[in-house]
Structures are given as C-alpha cells and as structure tokens.
Amino acid sequence: MAKPKFQLRTPAATSPTLILLIYRFGDEKFVYSTGESIHPDNWDKATMRAKTNLKSNPTLLTANKETNLQLDRYQLKITEILASLKATNQPPSIELLRSEMDKEFLKDTHPRRVAEEVKKLTMLPWIDNWIKTVKHTRETPPRPIKPRTVKKYEATLKILQSFASDKRKGKLDWDGVDMDFYFDLTEYLRDSYNHTQNTIGKHITIVKLFLREAVDAGVTTNLIHENRKFAAPKEAVEHIYLNEAELELITKLDLSRKPSLDRVRDLFLIGCYTALRFSDFTVLKPENIITTSTGGRALKINTFKTSQTVVVPIHPTVEAILQKYENNLPRAISNQKMNEYLKDIGEAAELKTPVQITEIIGGKPVQTSVPKYKKISSHTARRSAATNMYLAGIPSISIMKITGHKTESVFMKYICIDAEQNANLMMQHEYFRPKMKVV
C-alpha cells in the first residue's frame, strides 16, 4: 500500500505556502490541505517535515516543531482510515477519505485550520475571529504574536467597527474596500479621532495586514491593498534627546520626599545610559549583571521586542543606581504613568528650552513651541543614549549592537543632532585640524 506524503503547494514560493497531504491509490490522487503553512526554505523535502536542525533560532525551531506535531496528527489519522478500510476490504475513494478526514479536522475546536464556516463570515466578524486565533507573525521566520500586538489589532478593529457604524450604515464587506474606503477612513481618523498622520498610518498598516491575511485564507480576492496609493500616511516628527548636561540636572535632583518620582527618575536614567527600550530597562534583575572576559561589568539581556541578546557596558551612573537598590531595581509602573512623571521630573530640573513641534492635525501643518520637559517620554531615554554615545565618538556599529538596528541609515534616524553639532563633531577629525608645515 502506498504511503501518504506531505508536499508544499508551491515549492518555489518566496513566502509561506500551504502543506498538502497527498495519497495516491490506483490512478487516483487524494489531496488534502493541512491548514499548515511554511516557507520553502524551512521545509525538508526528504523527511517531508519542517526543519528542526535550528538550534541557533529557538523561535523558528518551536514553530516548526508545532507544525510537525500537526502533520503527525494528519498522518496518523489517514493511516488509521486506510487500515480500517483494508480490514473491511473496502476500497478507498477520494470522497470517502475526505469525509473521514473532515470528521477529525473540521471540528470547531481545531486550532490550526480555518473551517469553511469561518470563511463565510463577513469582513468585521472574520477579522475579529482572525485576531482571536492568530499565533504567528508573517515574518520569515515567523515569531509568536505578542499580547501588545494583539491589542493594536483590536484597537484598529474597534475603529473599523465605529467607521462602519458611522459611515457605512453598520456594514463593511470585502468588495467595498476600495480607494473611496481608504480616503473616507483616513478622513474619519483625522476628523473623528484627531489622529496625526503617523497614527493614521499605523492603523492603515494594520488594515492592509487584515486584507493580506484574508486573501491568503481564500476569503477574498480583493487586492486593493497592493495599490501604491493605498499607502500608510507618514510624516517626519521632531524627536528630542537630553544631552549630558541635562541628564546631570536630572541626576542631581533631590527627590527624597517624592519616592515615586525618585524611582521613575532612576529607571529613566538607566535607559539614558544603556539605550535599552522601556520594556527592557524596567525589568532588569541581578542575573542580568555579568562580568565580561576582561573583568568589566555589563548588563546582558534578551530584548523583549526583537528577542536579540545585547550586552551593554555599565556606565558609572547606572552603577550608582544599581548600588542604591542593591541590584534589585524598583518595580516599573505603566509606560503612560511613567511618561506623566517624567514631565514633572523635567520641569523640576528646569528643562525649559523651547522646542519647535510641527504636526499634521486636521490635514494641516500646525507648528507650536513648547518647553522641552513637556516632550520627554520613556523613549527619550533610548534616543538620548544613542545620541550621546555617538557624540562621544563611539562607532556607530558598536552602538547598533546595543540598539539592535540592522542598517546605519535606520540607526541615524535615532541620532538627534543639528547641523552645528555635526560640524563640531567633524572638527575633531584630523582632516579639519591644522597641518604642521615641513621646513
């Protein structure tokens, strides 16, 4: 008896493609979708399974093992069906095999396959179901979806639901997503939510993601999201950083009578001297402190957002804070609350230098001048660290090892220096120094 096989639907694909169960008997070929997708680069044709020799990539290894477990379930089930047919001298047929496989794999509780009933859902219910069941990103290799990413999806769905209620008589369907939908939605986000261009762009990016997922699932053939005009709006935003003198003012503040602000200040300063994100500098523990091969002290952490391992030398300011808390840093508060406290801290440090801010509000550029302390946020720490390290002459490649940026062009967007600061930095180069004349 022939053995069931697993094959990729499109072996030469450049993106994840479905894994199919194939069983040949006589002149017939039974083809059954497993509902599993994988990038061809991660597929082992010889073993007919996802590759598992991936010790250097634990995330992909976990995803591939999950895929193989599902494939094992399919192989076990069809083997049981074929054995039962053989025992009763009943010949297999495509209809019979499909019927028996469907009994097992079209159950409502099956977590990895979109049932036909789900495909029949209208646009908003389908998106809602997808958000509740999605497990991995579209990246190659895929990564597990994080809770905060799901919250972003839910926020965009909530906006689509409000948009449908206010502008589309409560209904949205796949065929109704066209350029008129795009322009109406962006206008709705500006007028009803007073969103900036960048915030609108984030929601449009997620809408495009919903559309791609629906096309991949066979729910719709609408490809309007591929139209270059269906783009996520974006505008340049002025970002601030705190220089060494300003950080010194914050460091010297006497906050002993305000313990909440004192703890926030200390956590913020750690971010300002490590270039770590809020999600990383607020969870540092004693076990993150290491001694390097040269005897120096450093912080080693597997970053939350990108799962990269970074090692950051401990700055004297960070060392003093670690000693203050005996290496057990204070518990972090929410990012939103921390941002509120940081503005109070900045005001107390008298960081009142005027900052010019230009935003697109209501479709029009609006320029305002605000004291610098009003623009301080937890992310200012990361930009301050990267900029001050750069101004101190630390090579970009070394800083990028900490920030996790893969290209220098993206990294340089983090560096907040003006034309005069850049000129001052260049003046330190030998090229601009007077040369001794040879007599």
Say whether pLDDT at 393 is over 50: yes
Determine the average pLDDT of the residues in 323-350: 93
Alpha carbons 204 and 189: distance in angstroms, whole number: 10
pLDDT value, residue 369 = 85
Let me know if the fold of 120-226 is the same as that of 244-427. Answer: no
Under 8 Å CB-to-CB from 277, ≥6 apart: which residues?
271, 303, 304, 305, 379, 382
Alpha-carbon distance of 412 to 392, in angstroms, equals: 15
Q: Encode pLDDT of 162-177 as tens digits.
A: 999 999 888 889 989 9
Instruction: Indicate the burial class of 45 (C-beta count within 10 angstroms; 0-12, 13-18, 19 or more).
Output: exposed
Residues 6+ apart with CB under 8 A from 45: 11
pLDDT above 80: residue 106: no
Class in CATH terms, 244-427: mainly alpha
Winning range, highest mean pLDDT, from 66-70, 241-245, 408-412, 432-436: 241-245
Q: What is the mean pLDDT of residues 260-275?
A: 96
Tokens describing residue 355: 């900052």
Question: What is the pLDDT, as a whole number, of residue 322?
Answer: 96
Q: Does the structure show a pLDDT above 90 at 313? A: yes
The predicted pLDDT at position 112 comes to 46
pLDDT of residue 380: 94
More confident residue, 412 or 68: 68
Is 56 or 73 the better-scoring residue by pLDDT? 73
Beta carbons of 265 and 281 less than 8 angstroms apart: no
Q: What's the whole-number mean pLDDT along residues 346-359?
A: 86
Domain residue extents for the chain: 5-113, 120-226, 244-427
With a cut of 60, say whether residue 214 has pLDDT above it.
yes
Q: Can you give the length of the chain in residues?
A: 439
Instruction: Tell me how far apart the alpha carbons of residues 354 and 198 are, in angstroms, rounded to a whole number.
Output: 23
Structure tokens at 390: 């750069």
What percentage of the chain exceeds 90 in pLDDT?
Answer: 49
Instruction: Give the residue from 282, 264, 267 showing the smallest Cα distance to 342.
Output: 264
Return the percentage of the chain with pLDDT > 70, whole number: 92
Lowest mean pLDDT of 53-57, 121-125, 277-281, name the range: 53-57
Pairing of strands 289-291, 43-44: unpaired
Q: How confident is the model at residue 332 (pLDDT cuts 50, 70, 90)?
A: confident
- Distance separating the N- and C-terminal Cα atoms of the chain: 95
Domain 120-226 has CATH 2.30.30: no
Phi/psi of residue 232, each to 5°? Answer: -80, 115
At a CB cut-off of 8 Å and minimum separation 6, what does 340 contact? Answer: none
What's the whole-number average pLDDT of the chain? 87
67: nearest Cα among 30, 10, 113? 113
- Please calculate the CA angle 326-330-334 and round it to the nearest 5 degrees: 165
Per-range mean pLDDT, top range of 32-36, 42-46, 249-253:
249-253
Q: What is the spatial distance between Cα 275 and Cα 382, in angstroms, rounded to a whole number? A: 4
Per residue in 8-19, pLDDT (tens digit) is 988 888 878 889
Average pLDDT for 274-290? 93
Count Cβ atoms within 10 A of the Cβ of residue 256 and give its class: 0-12 exposed, 13-18 middle, 19 or more buried. exposed
pLDDT band at 113 (very low <50, low <70, confident <90, very high): very low
Give me the mean pLDDT over the 61-66 stretch.
85
State the average pLDDT over residues 373-386: 93
Whole-number pLDDT of residue 416? 76
